[in-house]
Amino acid sequence: MTKSDRQISERTKSEAKTTAILSGAMKEFLQNGYAGTSMDKVAKSARVSKATVYSHFGDKENLFNAVMQDLVKDKFQQVMSLEKPQSLEQDPQVVLSGMMTKMLANIQNNRSFQDFMRIIIGESGRFPELAKAYVNNVAKPTIEILTKYLKSHPALELADPEATVRVMMGTMVYFVMLQEMLHGKDIVPLEGDRVIKTLTDLITEG
């Protein structure tokens, strides 16, 4: 085996261990919460040594951040695509409606994401760094990219694009929390497409 082949093999093994650790950590965090999860438990769940977990992620806080990033990276790909130039050439009503529809579907159909959000909210009093990690890794980049899009699109003339983004995100987050996480869909049912259409109309026609 050549040196290059050995390097590729080692990198592949390392990536496989990283995947196993993230999967094991997700299982433990969802089952035991942040405080109840230890690096020992993660190592056992991932079937690797505790030293391997520490060598890959350093400590529990970094591991939690990595799990969160891994969980949301595909969920917000549609938002990130707003940075592409062609999005500015398309009808903003179509772009925004499509983006919100995909995001809502992803979140509603992903119980792990909802349970993970419960951990962040429930543990944020004792572990404020968890909430800050969510804001830094998810909320902040989404706000920045959407604000840039609303500012840049030639068909939109908004007085305060950033505040508009906050209103849009706040509405979407509250809708998911009330309908899904608090089981409000059985008490105050409302179709997601109605919320999306209302938001899109307010932004593009208001």
Of 119, 137, 131, the closest CA to residue 25 belongs to: 119
Confidence of residue 47 (pLDDT cuts 50, 70, 90): very high
Average the pLDDT over 78-100 and give the result: 80
Q: Say if pTM beats, i.e. exceeds, 0.75.
A: yes
Is the pLDDT assigned to residue 158 strictly greater than 90? Answer: yes
**3-state DSSP call for residue 33?**
coil
CA 149 to chain centre: 19
Instruction: Please list the residue range(s) of the chain that carry CATH number 1.10.357.
Output: 73-205
Task: For CATH 1.10.10.60, list the domain ranges present in the chain.
Answer: 3-59
Q: What is the mean pLDDT of residues 152-169?
A: 94
pLDDT surpasses 80 at 44: yes
Indicate the range of 38-52, 53-67, 126-140, 176-190 predicted with least confidence.
Answer: 126-140
Residue 153, SS3 per DSSP: coil
Q: What does the DSSP 8-state code read for residue 48?
A: S
Q: Yes or no: say if 82 and 95 are a contact pair by the CB < 8 Å rule.
A: yes
3-state secondary structure of 192: helix
By the 10 Å C-beta count (0-12 exposed, 13-18 middle, 19+ buried), 199 is classed as buried
Q: What pLDDT was estimated at residue 162?
A: 96
Closest CA to 185 of 78, 77, 98, 104: 104
Whether the pLDDT of residue 9 is over 60: the answer is no
With tokens 């299982």, the residue in question is 27
Q: Which CATH class is domain 73-205?
A: mainly alpha
E-assigned strands of 32-124?
A: none
The CATH H-level superfamily of 3-59 is: Homeodomain-like (1.10.10.60)
Q: Give the mean model confidence (pLDDT) for residues 11-34.
A: 89
Phi-psi region of 47 (alpha: psi -120 to 50; beta: other; left: phi over 0): left
3 pLDDT exceeds 70?
no
85 against 197, higher pLDDT? 197
